[in-house]
Structure 1
Amino acid sequence: MFCLNIKSQHTPARYFSFCILLTVLLVTLSIRSLQGELFITDAQYMVAAGRWIIANGHLPTTDPLSIHSELTYICQQYPICILVAVLYDTFGEMSVRLFFALLDMVAVLFIWYQTFPKAGNRILHCAVSCVFGAVIVYSLRSTPRALDILCLAVSWELMEKYIESRDIRFLFGFPFLGIFIANLHGALWPCAIMLPLAALLDSKLDSNARAALAVTILLTIASAMLNPYGLDVLSLPFKTIGTSDVATVAVPELKPMFSIVPVEAVILIVISVMPVIFHAKCLGFKKTVFSFETMMISGLLFLSLMTWRNELLLLGILMIVYSTWCWKLEPKCKVSSKMLSRIVLFSISVVALEFGAVLFYSTLSATDQKSISLERAFQAMREDGAVSGTAVLTDIDPGCRAELNGFKPYLDTRIEVFNGQNGQKNVLAEAGKALSSGSLSAICDDYGMDYAVLNYGINDVGIQDLKESGFKPVYSDNLTVCLKRSTV
């Protein structure tokens, strides 16, 4: 369908580009692995959720992991949760790290493969792929966000083919993408309709083509409802937008970019505007502005500036856009077809790939000090007599580690559960007030929590309040403290 036949005379350049890109990705992922970012809090929560689903044989509708069991809950990544739970309990943490690393690489390599045939300048294409690919996999970490980028990449290819051919069969793929993304990463189901929405304003399309796109959008939305939670999944993207309590519980990815990373926001604006200007000079102002490419860049730039986490989607689109520049640029350096050149290219690429693979493998089992400290704190809690299901006061990050260890925390990373949507209790507002004032002992009294696991540096006032209220250290290092009520 995608017509990705790469000419044989480009085979040496193709292998070289692939090996260099894969090496860059492996090295980048090695760095993230050393930082503990291939098994972050979200992955820990997903393992705990998958275990619960396997043990109970059905999907939960109220929160099964925290102490707030009355809150409505949607397990939006249930197939991933089940898979990572099986991997973790069968092969250990290394297998989960490897799974997410492979997922990240597949998303980037698909875009590389998708755009390679359109690149006239293979060196520029390789450089663009390496730069954007490294930034993307560095940012993805252990989440299903790679699936969102993959969904957009497939959508882009389908939309290009439809605009070129007006063959309605290319639109049939969007409803299937809706089902795919709604079940694997429900909160990002709109990825399946972004391209059809952007193409509605494309100047190359007539009214009949736009009508077909409108029908496609409706069918894709309907198909997204084919998930275990039905219509409720469609509301997920709006449950983490606009809550004023996010700032108090340190979730930077849900904040506007200019409030968190202003320099990065400016850079993102610049690199988003550049391809629009480039295409305007090549194709004319009207054709450029009223094109699905520009609409996608503009829409995702707006969403990224509004909420930092959307930057990943824009980076995936920009990787495609910058890579497809290459067909407009004449290659200034062509790879010789002589056998010697091919041998040199092959040798360099193999050596580079082997280096990246060895480095990546050597870091798969590495664990950062923060994760080690938290694990020791919960181990000390268990050795002190705490059993599975014991309630424990935590902030967001320690909460997911608590769930991984079988305990029920006060908070974890699932903002959509705790932010008071649909008239439910606003745990974030309560937590934000308690954490900012340091009055954590009152929270422990209200919920009957006899243990607390908190990080030094951000919860120092609250830790002191607990100690003054009769909590004694069970474990403590320079990063984490585990406290226990002295009357227990």
Structure 2
Amino acid sequence: LRVRRRGGGRTLLEAGDLLVLGTLMLALANVRNELFLMTSMALALSDIQGEVAGPRARRPLALAACCTAALVAAVGCLAATVSAKTALEQSAEAAIAALEDAEADGGEAVICDIDVGSELELAGYRPLLDTRAELYCPELNGGTDAWGAARAMLASDTEAIEGTGADFAVVPSGAYPALEDGLAELGFSRVHDDGTFEVYARKAAP
């Protein structure tokens, strides 16, 4: 994986460089990948340090300090460019606050999808219809066809919705019109909608 100049000479590109570039792309796509970026940078810089500050180096400690300083500077630059919370995270927090206002208890089952499922779980709720890969494998769900049930709910199957036992739902605004119709038919009311997420509760509209 090393790319050298014609006729040999100094190395221009190594595997560590590709690792850093790849994880940088992931970190720019999703904040949660920052840790992978920092790890890959540390590995790449330690590899550089090992080659440059070898036994023949006159000042290995100085070179090691430079590599460490470069990593710290990169971390600082990335932290300065990433906002504390994305607009999606802020909207998810507002949706969870609306659930609390609707008197949803801890451990309450909430119909949702992948966009807010993790936030609901961290807030102490039980997310339903979080359509990630495990839903395609009934063996991971005790033999239950979770994805089939999810499709039925999205298609406005009121029996499937009732079968969840959920009194609340949090979904992206306008993403599931058929599900919204089924919720309305069962007496759910929309209690929050900020254009990103909407919250439904089985209670009378205010």
5+ long unaligned stretches in structure 2: 1-8, 52-65
Q: 1:353 to 1:110 in 2, by over 3 A?
A: closer
Aligned to 2:39: 106
Q: 2:166 aligns with which of 449, 460, 477?
A: 449
Matching residue's letter, 1:484: A
Aligned to 1:415: 133
The CA RMSD measured in Å over matched residues stands at 4.1
Offset of 1:417 from its aligned partner? 6.1
Aligned to 1:461: 178
Tell me whether 1:388 sits opposite 2:121 in the alignment: no
Local SS of the residue matching 1:412: coil
Instruction: Provide the TM-score with structure 2 as the length reference.
Output: 0.65
More strand by percentage:
2
CA distance in 1, matches of 2:169, 2:98: 12
5+ long unaligned stretches in structure 1: 1-9, 40-99, 119-345
Q: 1:473 aligns with which of 168, 185, 190?
A: 190
CA distance in 1, matches of 2:26, 2:79: 10
Offset of 1:480 from its aligned partner? 0.9
Structure with more contact order per residue of length (Cα contacts < 8 Å, sep ≥ 6): 1
Offset of 1:112 from its aligned partner? 6.9
Q: In the alignment, is the contact (CA less than 8 A) between 1:38 and 1:101 conserved in 2?
A: yes
Pairing of 1:75-114 with structure 2 (within 5 A): 101-107=34-40, 109-110=42-43
Q: In the alignment, is the contact (CA less than 8 A) between 1:27 and 1:359 conserved in 2?
A: no
Q: 1:25 to 1:447 in 2, by over 3 A?
A: closer
CA distance in 2, matches of 1:395, 1:410: 7
Q: 1:26 to 1:411 in 2, by over 3 A?
A: closer
Instruction: Provide the TM-score with structure 1 as the length reference.
Output: 0.30
CA distance in 1, matches of 2:71, 2:96: 41
Aligned to 2:86: 368
Matching residue's letter, 1:392: V
Matching residue's letter, 1:359: C
CA distance in 1, matches of 2:80, 2:198: 30
- Larger displacement relative to structure 2 (402-411 or 360-369): 360-369
Q: How many residues align?
A: 176
Pairing of 1:119-130 with structure 2 (within 5 A): none
Q: In the alignment, is the contact (CA less than 8 A) between 1:450 and 1:484 conserved in 2?
A: yes
Q: In the alignment, is the contact (CA less than 8 A) between 2:171 and 2:197 conserved in 1?
A: yes
CA deviation map 1:376-410 (0-9, x unaligned): 11111112211211111112332222101101111
Q: 1:29 to 1:367 in 2, by over 3 A?
A: farther
Q: 1:381 to 1:417 in 2, by over 3 A?
A: same
Q: 1:359 to 1:406 in 2, by over 3 A?
A: same
Local SS of the residue matching 1:406: coil
Matching residue's letter, 2:31: L
